[in-house]
Amino acid sequence: LFIDHPLAAGQAVPLEADQAHYLSGVMRLGAGDEILVFNGRDGEWRCRIVDIRKRGGILEAAEQTAPQRDPPDLWLIFAPIKKARTDFIVEKAAEMGAARILPVQTDFTNSERIRQDRLQAHAVEAAEQCGGTFVPPVGDLLSLAKVLEGWDPSRSLLWADEAAAGEAAPLSDLPGGPWAILIGPEGGFSDAERQRLRALPFVHRISLGPRILRADTAAVAALTLWQAALGD
């Protein structure tokens, strides 16, 4: 269970109403029972339920069961698409070990708004289900131009370019880290964006194979290929 609260031996950890409901109503746990908790910073802890009610409760952290394990410094930057598919991208990126997830508005992005809190909750659920100790932060929607303006050039931007389909070998000659993968929207990248991206020294064009993949498939494929080549 993810609880955003410091974890240390003997630490009292408050439960919110929805967490108390999940533990008592869904998991049928009560005072004295133990659960595993992580907060994204302090590893995984075995915690004892001290008190549990409808409106909340208290846990006590007993011992650390796993150290904190942060993923490699790989971000996923993607243009949001339809709601369910955007949810899918965030969920899979969190499962696949992205360190940060940044939705960006590109020239052909249709959605002008995202529910950042909803997407963050998907990232938390994904981390919970795969037993991780890390939850990638999900950013607010920013324009691609703004993200590129503030870019730290020591981070390699792996630009998944649909126009490179069939041209280059998938993720060949990867530069050193840290990295970010950039995935475009349904309509791909505009000519102006292509020109801009091609001119930037930290951008590396990558191909995901000879077929044009849907944006959500492309995100999972790029993360998978990166993990296969460089992941730990």
Residues within the interface to ligand SAM (CB under 6 A): 160-162, 164-165, 183-184, 186, 188-189, 207-209, 211-215, 218
Closer to ligand SAM by CB, 176 or 210: give it: 210
Rounded least distance, CB 166 to ligand SAM, Å: 7
Q: How many angstroms separate the Cα of 184 from the Cα of each of 22, 36, 48, 51, 109? A: 37, 37, 45, 48, 8
Closer to ligand SAM by CB, 61 or 183: give it: 183
The position carrying tokens 């999900």 is: 138
Closer to ligand SAM by CB, 38 or 78: give it: 78
Closer to ligand SAM by CB, 212 or 229: give it: 212
Rounded least distance, CB 107 to ligand SAM, Å: 11
Q: How many angstroms separate the Cα of 154 from the Cα of each of 28, 56, 59? A: 49, 45, 42
Rounded least distance, CB 113 to ligand SAM, Å: 20
Residue nearest to ligand SAM (CB): 184
Measured N-to-C along each axis, helices 215-230 and 83-95 cross at an angle, to the nearest 10 degrees, of 10
Q: How many angstroms separate the Cα of 137 from the Cα of each of 62, 100, 111, 208? A: 27, 5, 20, 25
Rounded least distance, CB 7 to ligand SAM, Å: 38
Helix (H), strand (E), coil (C) string for 96-123: CCCCEEEEEECCCCCCCCCCHHHHHHHH
Closer to ligand SAM by CB, 94 or 104: give it: 104
Rounded least distance, CB 163 to ligand SAM, Å: 8
